[in-house]
Structure 1
Amino acid sequence: MIEVLMRQGVRVPAMMAALLCCGAWAGAPPLGLPPLPIPADNPQTPAKIALGDALFHDARFSSTGEIACKNCHLDAIAFHDGRPVAKGVRMQRGTRNAPTVVNAAYYDYQFWDGRAQTLEQQALQPLLNPIEHGLRSEDEILNIVRRDANYVARFAEAFGASAQSITITHLTQAIAAYERTLISGDSAFDRWYYGGDLTAMSDSAKRGFEVFTGPGHCAQCHTVTRQYALFTDQAFHNANASFALLGADPERRAAEFMQARTANIDQRVLSDREASELGRFAVTGRREDLGAFKTPSLRNIARTPPYLHDGSLNTLEKVVEYFNNGGKLNPRDPGPNPFQSPLIRPLNLSAEQKRDLVAFLKSLTSPEYAEPAYRG
């Protein structure tokens, strides 16, 4: 099948080729990851994956013809964009850091606030957001593929759909199928912890893992099991980042948001910085979710700066210092806020423990995203 796709001129990324050859979606994931969950109504097929790859990298799916999904999720840097916050059409900047798509197939929720539960649901929202792709309707999206003979042929192959029977569901399923090939494990940590290679990690990184699971309390949110490590508890926590933007009375700001709430939460939180800082609350309306954001995975974290939902910390050293101070970059900064998670508290780590913890975080980079493979 790989050879057939390549003869047809279809771009076949190395990771996709490996997955198609080894059948990773059928239960053979990279070292350190569990079997890949595949929804029953959207099974993986080579034709669907290749179509989704093309859609993901096509800038025609934007109002200016300049923005594709790849613009915020660059193959070269572990499907991240390297910016504090994402940039969309007409150079507009959103309010949140663009999460990597790598291993998103394992998440129970998508986006920082979890407003989508599946990759299929997630795939549509950026296309219609005026800050991101800026397309006005689903019909505008479908007209792009229905008028392209190559896309029509590929939708027919993937879904058996004629030009006029192509639907938004088909399009989002194809993008999601491609994103499910972007899974990444087999890091130095995995080879040491799960593979038994005692030389795979440095002594500093090994000590850092002891800090991670011990006095650093990192594993309370960035979970690791004896079978695999997603490095996320799939939950939402208020870590104090940017929460001060809601002012002295965040509950009043939250009440105002709910009173003026529209169905388009996606547009509101990416265009209004204060609304963005409501976090999970904007989705659930629950007081306990005020300022809470999803725990990101730590895999390939060294390749995806800057960090936190607002992109406010640009190095791993600053991230470690921030959490060592209980949700502050400087111990003298105000806080904690009344809604801050009790899991975010001062750690009192030594300078050596902090250095070792950073070394451990750097050990979570998978070979396909390690330097110098993608330098420049």
Structure 2
Amino acid sequence: MRRTTFLLTAIAAATPFVFSLAPSYAQSDSQALKAAYRRPAEIPFPSENPYTPEKAALGKALYFDPRLSGAQNMNCATCHNPSFGWEVPVKTAVGAQNKPLGRQAPAVLNLAWGSHAYFWDGRAKSLEEQAKGPIEAPVEMNLPLSEAVVRLKAVPDYKTWFEKVFPGGGVTPDTIVKAIATYERTIVSSYAPFDAWIDGNENAISESAKRGFALFNGAAKCAGCHTGWNFTDNKFHDIGTTTKDIGRGKLEPNNIKAQFAFKTPTLRDVAQRAPYMFDGSLATLEEVMYHYVGGGIERPSRSDKMQPLDLTPEQIADIIEFMKSLTGSKQVVTLPVLPN
């Protein structure tokens, strides 16, 4: 996998909004724990689908275009809305049949670091495969990619744009998902107060948040799964929720620990992304914390990392204050002018 360093001018060329992954500092933080949480300076793009500004711009148009749904009334942002942390503020998203889906829409955030496992159950091995799933799923956008090709080829500007971005390829199922995946890889959480603290600004977060960070990595054991700058191990765990959805277990029926297991979500921009859990069953961060304090339902599949915690209400409040420091300012995402 090749890593591409983004210049602001390149980002601006790809989309109307601009973001930076992290500012530069002359002195690096010597504390090993803080270093483990420092934001990367580059976005990784796979060699088989390298970044270009034009491809990202095309992918953004497709992401917001309702013509990629059967009834032409939905787009990717219907379930993954930038105004709500790239999710939607309901328990589960609503699909093409105007019915709630079985799971909450996972955030389309920092997916460039997805580690070859996408969706709550990890059934997609690449972002390209992930982009294909919701478009074709009957209960979601309900449009076979073969039909999407016909629709897009009938739009003169799209036909021209695809030929420019994919010379000799044009509009195909493969190029559609490659463009969308490229845009999705540019969706990166904004620089948060926590990042400023990691980079040396001791006043960037409160004393409560600092205590919460220590607890997060210590007595609360949160860092056992929510690791690194993106706060996820990209693995699957049964955390003891009251659900009949076996999650990863459908893909690994003979693995007891895969039953009721779901992918660890990022905690980046978590304050913008209520409700929580794979099924949207917990409305607040307080409810999330008290679920973990209780240890969840004890069963053979429950993760060995899930154990009841001895935390005071004050300590829980500190951890929540820390998690809130992971949310930066909302990014302004300008809607693209769609081809016609």
Q: TM-score range by the shorter chain?
A: 0.7 to 0.9
1:282 aligns with 2:250: yes
Compute the displacement of 1:363 (Å). Answer: 0.3
Q: CA deviation at 1:3?
A: 9.0
2:149 match: 142
CA distance in 2, matches of 1:190, 1:11: 25
| Distance in 1 between residues matched to 2:100 and 2:206, nearest whole Å | 39
Give SS of 1:89's match: coil
Structure 1 residues 318 and 148, CA, compared in 2 at 3 Å: closer, same or farther? same
1:35 deviates by 3.1
Aligned counterparts of 1:31 and 1:72: Cα–Cα separation in 2 = 29
Matched, 1:355 2:317: yes
1:37 alignment partner, SS class: strand
CA distance in 2, matches of 1:157, 1:2: 22
What displacement does 1:300 show?
Answer: 0.5
Question: Mind listing any 5+ residue stretches in structure 2 that lack a counterpart?
Answer: 1-6, 25-36, 334-340
2:219 counterpart residue number: 215
The gaps in structure 1 that reach 5 residues or longer are 23-29, 246-276, 328-334
> Which of 292, 303, 322 is 2:272 aligned to?
303
Aligned length: 311
1:343–1:31 Cα change, 3 Å: closer
Taking the TM superposition and a 5 Å limit, the aligned residue runs for 1:98-247 are 98-108=105-115, 109-135=117-143, 137-161=144-168, 165-193=170-198, 195-224=199-228, 229-243=229-243, 245=244
Distance of 2:292 and 2:97 partners within structure 1: 36
Query: Comparing both structures, which one devotes a greater share of its residues to helix?
Result: 1
Mapped partners of 1:97, 1:117: distance in 2: 20
Aligned equivalents of 1:176, 1:212: Cα separation in 2: 32
Cα distance, 1:31 vs structure 2:
5.9
Cα distance in 2, alignment partners of residues 62 and 36 from structure 1: 29
Q: Aligned in 2, Cα 1:82/1:283: closer, same or farther, shift over 3 Å? A: same
**Residue number in structure 2 paired with 1:32:** 39
* Match of residue 300 from structure 2: 338
C-alpha distance 2-148 of structure 1, shift in aligned 2 (>3 A): farther
Please give the secondary structure, in 2, of the residue aligned with 1:139: helix
Letter in 2 for 1:241: T
Contact persistence 1:31–1:190 (CA under 8 A): yes
Cα distance, 1:65–1:184 mapped onto 2, change above 3 Å? same
Q: 1:114–1:5: structure 2 CA closer, same or farther, 3 Å change rule?
A: closer
Name the SS for the 1:14 alignment partner: coil
Contact 1:119 1:176 in 2 (8 A): yes
- CA deviations over 1:80-130 (Å, ceiling 9, x no partner): 111111111131211111111110110111100000121111000101111
* Residue 107 to residue 341, structure 1, CA distance change in 2 (3 Å): same
User: CA contact under 8 A between 1:325 and 1:348: conserved in structure 2?
Assistant: no
More displaced stretch, 32-41 vs 80-89: 32-41
The root-mean-square deviation of aligned C-alpha atoms, in Å, is 2.4
- Relative to structure 1, the CA distance from residue 350 to residue 5 in structure 2 (aligned partners, 3 Å threshold; closer, same or farther) is closer
Identity of aligned residues (%): 37
Over 3 Å counting, the alpha-carbon distance change for 1:283 and 1:34 in structure 2 is: farther
Q: Is the 8 A contact 1:64 1:90 kept in 2?
A: no
Matched to 1:70, the amino acid is A
